Structure 1
């Protein structure tokens, strides 16, 4: 294939561009960062596989082929895909009820879930729905992830004490823990404590290796040396060596028919949540390193990676915060970092799989609890409370929804919250009466500025949004309420058209109704801004020449008409915010 052909393919496979223009000077940095990423991916992949209800190797399978797929199709230089705490929790909570305790059905359903989610992501990319990443507001997403973090932590406590747990939700899970305290296994508790000590202290003394990897190694060595497995300490057991087979698992076709409807709903939710989470990570590191990403291509890249995971005996994946941060901090310069990380994980599966059998389940539970704590964001809700208590309430409701009704139902709930919030903001935009502040240029909201003063006989009204069918009645009520505040003294009503971004037929009817009511009182209906964008012969301000380019000129026009003696001393100085398109 000619180089020119490869360059033409780059539009569809951005990773080819990295290969064609790869600089030898980047190789040492990408290789070192790839090894560092693999050091995190190994313990986290195994732990998250346990969280999602899989054997250890499935978590490692999900860290190989998906990284190759993302390398070819993605646009972020730093983003590393792989098993993710929130996605794994969603997989477990979604698939377990459908599988009915059948391990083969569980694996098959998980593969379908990843594959269908991947197809949804690709379709969303073709439909240019990358903007969906912005649809879940930050308070809703923070609240959702906090709920997931709490759910993960609760689900792992049984592993620390040496018994299994089945209940979900805060109260049922807590009651189950208390009821089973008589089944605690002291050696397992000792291993759990050792794991936590290593996780807390390793970053201080062993800075070149991830704490999770150090904890797995140390606790695994202790279990192997003292043969603690024979004393009841649960371990991963034998991990099959070698790379995964390519294709769907056994029972795949058998389980699809009866569960298709549930899989479609769950896959759509997972696609939305995993994409939103991945884009938060990708955008953060893109901003830090001063480059752009293409959100629609990222949607497709995530979809192909999920399909690759499904076809390599893995499960649904997303952007991985910890591994992406490791790639960046270790000096990774290009997406080849992900390829080197995938190759390292593959080599471990081929040559060192046997050593994984000694890793205690309790240590993985400790790793997952620490991961959940890192996922927990308590500072943002404090910020939400200080800025807007309604946003805080949204975050709190999303958190409670996850831990109370489960993640899958909570996905639908938070999407509903997002829609309600969007409708509220659009249907009820801020309506403001403007005034002047002595010594300050421009015009300011009377509600938000206590020292702003309204001119007697003049109302300057601003409606901060489109005037369309779903808020036309609200506009009419607010505009007439502003006029009523001045009563019989009102002479001019000035409508600021700059923030009024769109006007449909229903909105025009509301505008005409307000005009008719004001004119019946002898009030002139005046506009400021957008003289050419809004044209309709029935509007009084256009017919009578009372359409001004700025609020300043509209106010000065009022002064000249009704208070000529005060005009020279009362004019408001020009300011940038008065500028308006003619």
Structure 2
């Protein structure tokens, strides 16, 4: 529990800032948690339960001092997309499936932590995540229009919903729309008057007071209804166990996306405040937090960037912020849920739309067009996949794109021909002409680990690059450091073939670097080394010195022979 170390060494002067930040975080988290509960399709109290234990657990197990965990727009959209068709309108079954998927997400995170897979934080590239979050944001915004305008979507997918917009607008419920407009007005008025105050909370509270004071339900303005507060009671899921199979892969996708999104937030604030975080421990913390949420009848959580930003902006110093905020939310969830039933659904829809608008960053997507055209196309592919085929298939495609991007980089990496500059430093040959080729020696570097699926490409590229050289090449040296990282018998077989090819051409094949490792692998693969096979040197500079010494020795021998022949010719001439 890394957080315990901070709490045991807590300094008294931090408490004022932490308490202030905790109040602000709780004020922002309350309306958002209720709104995300509506998005997930469960009771408002479930959103509050999803904040309390996960925040406390993360404060103990997490390594970020600023990160706040809780319900997240993308996480809730994924859960709703998976669970809604499986529940088939059964409210209790829907809730139980949400809890089950949350527990499975936690399970995947803990397994990943045990196998040290924190490296998955870099698995989904930034362009893919940008496309994913923008797609999810647009999906949520369109979905919440039904609450704002007071109608119900009959279609499941975004395109069909957009196609029916004219008809749906004709069904708009005026009182509901007026409530939504009032919520928007209060929100932006608060942002203008008191930018640091929780505008969402004030807007929702104002709408609830109007509903309660003027009995606006008589005008068919929908509210979230009765909120069953109190302590959450654990209930084992009661449905066909076979349905769990439908949740396995979506839960894995959700675990990856939640973790990657959380790490982006955690790393940015850790860098800003001058400390490091441990990716593997973060995976464990996220897993235990999701387990805690499931046990307290909540839904899946992730790193909440907006609440983390509020924490940092208000001077939060330590994980105590999460604990204080969780206690405040717990008190409301247990004792003060009665007023929540008057919250208008239209107001929650507005809050979700505003939160989703903050997720949108189409300007950055467009800028990628100029910076990196390949990244731009990757972002658009993910974005349109989420919009056109749905959130879950879109996330699956995003994960596959990340995997294919990695495989493509490994299978078709860059390579370099090396030379030497005037200071005797080995460097790549390029258009700058800072380095020159070494007479009689060809040095090749392959910028990826060699394995069975890129060994043929390595062989082809090496022979292609060699064919472009002058005919005086006596030795081919492979830089082993970047490419020979592990034993692969397919690679060893390819290396043996290369040696045969070069031997027929009268060229020595040598490898520089990882000498002890490579000699052991040669024994396993029954490849000869030294004068009878492939030369292996400790490093590149040693290989060059030895070969240059051989060249010098050969030159001296050649000069001696020429001198000897010249002397013989002179002797013959004088005798004649």
Residue 398 (str. 1) matches residue 382 (str. 2): yes
Show the counterpart of 2:266. Answer: 282
Which whole-Å CA distance do the structure 1 matches of 2:532 and 2:64 have between them?
A: 51
**How many residues are paired up?**
548
Between 1:374-383 and 1:153-162, the stretch displaced more is 374-383
Look up the SS of the partner of 1:459 in the other structure.
strand
Residue 257 (str. 1) matches residue 241 (str. 2): yes
CA RMSD in angstroms, aligned pairs only: 3.1
Show the counterpart of 1:111. Answer: 99
The residue correspondences of 1:508-519 to structure 2 (distance < 5 A) are 508-519=492-503
Show the counterpart of 2:205. Answer: 217
The residue correspondences of 1:93-132 to structure 2 (distance < 5 A) are 93-132=81-120
TM-aligned CA distance change 1:208 to 1:544, over 3 Å: closer
Q: 2:452 aligns with which of 469, 485, 489?
A: 469
Which whole-Å CA distance do the structure 1 matches of 2:528 and 2:186 have between them?
A: 77
TM-score, normalising length: structure 1: 0.85
Q: 2:507 aligns with which of 520, 523, 531?
A: 523
Describe the superposition over 1:152-197 as per-residue Cα deviations: whole angstroms up to 9, x where unpaired: 1111111121112243433112013232121012222222223333
The residue correspondences of 1:179-198 to structure 2 (distance < 5 A) are 179-198=167-186
TM-aligned CA distance change 1:466 to 1:65, over 3 Å: closer
Q: 2:20 aligns with which of 17, 20, 32?
A: 32
Which whole-Å CA distance do the structure 2 matches of 1:244 and 1:343 have between them?
A: 13
TM-score, normalising length: structure 2: 0.86
Between 1:189-198 and 1:95-104, the stretch displaced more is 189-198
Describe the superposition over 1:34-71 as per-residue Cα deviations: whole angstroms up to 9, x where unpaired: 11100100111111111111222221121112222223
Q: Does the 8 Å CA contact 1:492/1:526 hold for their aligned counterparts? A: yes
Which whole-Å CA distance do the structure 2 matches of 1:368 and 1:316 have between them?
A: 17
Which whole-Å CA distance do the structure 2 matches of 1:184 and 1:273 have between them?
A: 35
TM-aligned CA distance change 1:555 to 1:170, over 3 Å: farther
Describe the superposition over 1:105-141 as per-residue Cα deviations: whole angstroms up to 9, x where unpaired: 1111111111222223223333333333232222222
Q: 2:279 aligns with which of 295, 301, 326?
A: 295
Show the counterpart of 2:574. Answer: none
Residue 20 (str. 1) matches residue 4 (str. 2): no
Which whole-Å CA distance do the structure 2 matches of 1:491 and 1:118 have between them?
A: 59
TM-aligned CA distance change 1:90 to 1:559, over 3 Å: same
Q: Does the 8 Å CA contact 2:537/2:543 hold for their aligned counterparts? A: no
Look up the SS of the partner of 1:165 in the other structure.
coil
TM-aligned CA distance change 1:354 to 1:343, over 3 Å: same
Q: Does the 8 Å CA contact 1:490/1:523 hold for their aligned counterparts? A: yes
Q: Does the 8 Å CA contact 1:74/1:297 hold for their aligned counterparts? A: yes
The residue correspondences of 1:332-371 to structure 2 (distance < 5 A) are 332-371=316-355
Deviation at 1:256, TM superposition (A): 4.1
TM-aligned CA distance change 1:528 to 1:154, over 3 Å: same
Residue 561 (str. 1) matches residue 548 (str. 2): no
Look up the SS of the partner of 1:498 in the other structure.
coil
Which whole-Å CA distance do the structure 2 matches of 1:524 and 1:510 have between them?
A: 16
Deviation at 1:539, TM superposition (A): 4.5
Deviation at 1:329, TM superposition (A): 1.5
TM-aligned CA distance change 1:469 to 1:168, over 3 Å: same
Show the counterpart of 2:54. Answer: 66
Q: Does the 8 Å CA contact 1:219/1:363 hold for their aligned counterparts? A: yes
Q: Does the 8 Å CA contact 1:239/1:356 hold for their aligned counterparts? A: yes
Q: 2:443 aligns with which of 438, 457, 460?
A: 460
Q: 1:497 aligns with which of 468, 480, 495?
A: 480
Which whole-Å CA distance do the structure 2 matches of 1:372 and 1:62 have between them?
A: 19
Between 1:302-311 and 1:156-165, the stretch displaced more is 302-311
The residue correspondences of 1:421-460 to structure 2 (distance < 5 A) are 421-435=405-419, 442-446=426-430, 458-460=441-443
Q: Which runs of 5+ in 1 are unaligned?
A: 1-12, 566-582
Describe the superposition over 1:1-34 as per-residue Cα deviations: whole angstroms up to 9, x where unpaired: xxxxxxxxxxxx4444344333332222221111
TM-aligned CA distance change 1:264 to 1:530, over 3 Å: closer
Which whole-Å CA distance do the structure 2 matches of 1:381 and 1:123 have between them?
A: 33
Which whole-Å CA distance do the structure 2 matches of 1:554 and 1:339 have between them?
A: 62
Q: Does the 8 Å CA contact 1:191/1:362 hold for their aligned counterparts? A: yes
